[in-house]
A and B are shown apart, each in its own frame.
Chain A
């Protein structure tokens, strides 16, 4: 058990180190921030002063070393554009991304589980075939394009929902979120639905497969022979048994919602971390790019580490294999 966790931990650190090297090295080879950041009319002395101030005159290896040391202190450099610490900028925008991802997770479960159960319960019916066809379509539709269509229909054409920004932000139990105001909810709805689309398709497939398996189990036959209503069988016996694996998988995939929110945030001008990174790439704002990538990679590395460790508790086979290594 312990050696297993230790190997995984060492591996996570190694991944982070390789990432930092890759990200920092790569970002430093791209473009010339001096040219982009300094007023073209500035004189030579001014240019040199700014270069020194940003640390761009030192050799790359030295810059990397300082970056590594400072990263451990939680200081990932100041944004070239905003002049504020990159870490602070990202943390400021994190709640917006999290609330978008959470809300879209909620939407996808509410929509997909009933549809998936139906498709698994009556696999031969026309509606089920339409649902399954729809899920393939959902897989195939590029998220950003669907977002554009949402904006066109619901914001431009019908004018029902706003298409940009986060709207009014309410406070509840000390948490600031646009989920707590009606105006905020109207803003979050379209982007969240857009982000949820892919997840809806995959949860439908997952639920359907699970339902088809469960329906063959003895306890369903038993429940039927006991004379329980079909409604009770579906709502209690099937739903309960299917929820556990689905919630596990979807929970684990929460990270992918955050990664994909970059796209949705850009389309809907949602002021989250995703939009920040895209804007920063445009502006060649190196500290923010580096900080974002490091934060998101750390996030994923630890998410995976926790999942691995949790599995060793849940599944003894993993534990035995880990000890054998």
Chain B
């Protein structure tokens, strides 16, 4: 059998030993599907002014309007169908979370691996910056960036990258330090491969396992943080309605008892973050040699 397929099979056997993680993975896949295909699976387009009617504003869940449109989770203050708004919101939230996660992964592993590889002054400066940054709570780092530079899509993504990169850098460095002592690195050096090639073709793939674990947990964290920032009115602008913004919109109707406008987007957010966390938690246990 192809060794790659065998490896994947072994991995799956290990992974599927935890039923909760399998269910979480399936749930997350469903959420991802809904987010990617939001325009196709949503009952209505919540941001098409031709179909949204203010007459329908704040309808309770399971209600119908006069023309027979059915609203499973009710409508928000502007008469938008909550189901569709949540689907579109998931798209924005996941998009921002995953995008910032990928950038942070690239930047963090670049600095982490190169710090381990070159050592010396460069390493101590990089790791000092990482330490300093990690001594600040993530929300504070994001708050500083957004308070100083204002809100917006790019700024939110930059803030999320800045919050996350240090975790990746630290993880990448510690696993790269272990890899550097292995024989294949010596072999690559003897073959006079370039530093770049050794770092990113040889060492990086072997550091992927811990980076993926950090990646899942960090992405969950980033999604949650983005929602918080958008709720506070510091994150995404109203043109990019993420789940956090939807929850914030519903907040003003709380006191009049229209619970669904805030609650359902929050449930969607919770399920998303929890499913990623549960998968990440299990991956961490799998890759943790101490537990075997």
Interface residue ranges, A against B (CB under 8 Å): 11, 15, 19, 22-23, 25-27, 29-31, 136-137, 139-145, 148-149, 151-152, 156, 255-256, 259-260, 262-263, 266-267, 277-278, 281-282, 289, 293, 296-297, 300, 304
Return the CB mask of B268-288 against A: 1 if under 8 Å, else 0: 011001100110010000000
B227 surroundings in chain A (CB, below 8 A): 142, 144-145
Interface CB pairs A-B, < 8 A, 13 = A23-B148, A30-B150, A137-B274, A142-B270, A144-B227, A145-B262, A148-B247, A148-B262, A152-B262, A256-B137, A256-B140, A277-B143, A297-B136
Given contacts A141-B274, A142-B228, A259-B139, 11 further A-B contacts (CB under 8 A): A26-B147, A27-B147, A136-B281, A139-B277, A142-B231, A145-B269, A145-B270, A149-B263, A256-B140, A277-B143, A281-B234
B220 surroundings in chain A (CB, below 8 A): 140
Q: Nearest chain A CB to B227's CB is how many angstroms away? A: 5
Say yes or no: B247 contacts A144, CB within 8 Å: yes
By the criterion of a CB under 8 Å from any partner CB, how many residues of chain B are at the interface?
41
Say yes or no: A142 contacts B259, CB within 8 Å: no
Main secondary structure of the interface of B (DSSP, over half): helix
Say yes or no: A266 contacts B259, CB within 8 Å: no
CB nearest neighbor in A for B224: A142
A137 surroundings in chain B (CB, below 8 A): 270, 274
CB nearest neighbor in B for A146: B266
CA distance A304 to B150 in the complex (A): 27
**Which of B132, B135, B232, B278 is close to A262, meaning CB atoms less than 8 Å apart?**
B232
B254 at the interface (CB under 8 A from A): yes
CA distance A31 to B150 in the complex (A): 8
B197 at the interface (CB under 8 A from A): no
Interface residue ranges, B against A (CB under 8 Å): 128, 132, 135-137, 139-140, 143-150, 220, 224, 227-228, 231-234, 244, 247, 250-251, 254-255, 257, 259, 262-263, 266, 269-270, 273-274, 277-278, 281
Q: Nearest chain A CB to B282's CB is how many angstroms away? A: 11
CA distance A27 to B150 in the complex (A): 8
* 4 shortest interchain CB distances as A-B pairs: A26-B148, A145-B266, A140-B274, A256-B137
**Which of B144, B150, B269 is close to A293, meaning CB atoms less than 8 Å apart?**
B144
Q: Indicate whether A296 sits within 8 Å of B274 (C-beta atoms), given known contacts A23-B148, A142-B227.
A: no
CB nearest neighbor in A for B273: A140
Q: Indicate whether A260 sits within 8 Å of B281 (C-beta atoms), given known contacts A142-B273, A156-B254.
A: no
Main secondary structure of the interface of A (DSSP, over half): helix
CA distance A277 to B142 in the complex (A): 13
CB nearest neighbor in B for A19: B144
CA distance A263 to B235 in the complex (A): 13
A255 surroundings in chain B (CB, below 8 A): 137
Q: Indicate whether A297 sits within 8 Å of B144 (C-beta atoms), given known contacts A11-B128, A143-B228, A263-B228.
A: yes
CB nearest neighbor in A for B227: A142
CA distance A23 to B277 in the complex (A): 33
A143 surroundings in chain B (CB, below 8 A): 228
CB nearest neighbor in A for B144: A293
Say yes or no: A136 contacts B228, CB within 8 Å: no
Say yes or no: A149 contacts B144, CB within 8 Å: no
Say yes or no: B144 contacts A22, CB within 8 Å: yes
B257 surroundings in chain A (CB, below 8 A): 156
Q: Indicate whether A281 sits within 8 Å of B147 (C-beta atoms), given known contacts A136-B277, A259-B140, A262-B139.
A: yes
Q: Nearest chain B CB to A3's CB is how many angstroms away? A: 15
Q: Nearest chain A CB to B77's CB is how many angstroms away? A: 15
A262 surroundings in chain B (CB, below 8 A): 139, 143, 232
Q: Indicate whether A263 sits within 8 Å of B140 (C-beta atoms), given known contacts A11-B128, A148-B251.
A: no
Say yes or no: A142 contacts B148, CB within 8 Å: no
B150 surroundings in chain A (CB, below 8 A): 29-31
CB nearest neighbor in B for A289: B147
**Which of B139, B148, B266 is close to A148, meaning CB atoms less than 8 Å apart?**
B266
